[in-house]
Amino acid sequence: MFDNISKFLIELRLWEQPTEVFFQRPGLLPYAVLSQTGDRPSILRQVAQTIDTLPNPRQQANLSAATGILAGLVLNKQLIRRLLRREIMQESVIYRELRAEAREEGLRLGREDARREAHLKVLEEVKQQLRQEILEEVRQQLRQDLGEEARESRRGEAYLLVIRLLKRRIGSVSDEADSRVNSLSLSQLEDLGEALLDFSTVADLEAWLEAL
């Protein structure tokens, strides 16, 4: 499982992403400690404080558990335990269910060593299920957010190129027309980039915009 997580982290190059990106949505918080920062303990502290402000206890529990798992890749356990509230993580639905199963198994066997073994089994199962259930959700959200950022970056570059070509083709572009061009989507900017090759006056641009 850790191999899959490592491949995913390498794929997204999280260590190159600005930390503030991961504070924009609760689902991204567990990855903040792996972002581009020189002070991971401070970021983990901020994540823990942010999680504490969330109104949904179950979300708090799941995000705390996921944060603890990922923080373990770059920080020592003592620091993680000090900054993350263990009692919140133990409120995770998955944790509670598996813990109950472990107690039943321990009581049934009636041996202390069996209870200890069952407890260790619970911890491992909690980690595995949290990675599969929670981290997959966070992973999808992260891909979506980073994809949106990449698309917006390409859209901005396309806008600058189209405006530059328009000015060469038809002369000056009014502030109003500039604003309307800037509001176009990436695909619309690409269409305009092709259409402007046939423009000869500002009226051609205005007509094209009105036809949208």
Residue 139: predicted pLDDT: 57
The residues that bridge with 212 in the sheet, in sequence order, are: none
What is the rounded CA–CA span in Å between residue 203 and residue 124? 68
Contacts of residue 171, Cβ cutoff 8 Å, sequence gap at least 6: 202
Q: Would you give the end-to-end CA distance of the chain in angstroms?
A: 49
- The model's pLDDT over 131-187, given as tens digits with 9 standing for 90+, comes to 555 555 555 655 665 566 666 777 888 888 888 889 888 988 999 999 999 999 888
Opening angle at CA 82, ends 77 and 87, nearest 5: 100
Give the H/E segment covering residue 7: helix 2-12
The domain locations on the chain are 2-149, 151-210
| Tokens of residue 132, six digits | 């599969």
Mark the ranges of the chain whose per-residue pLDDT is less than 70. 1-14, 86-151
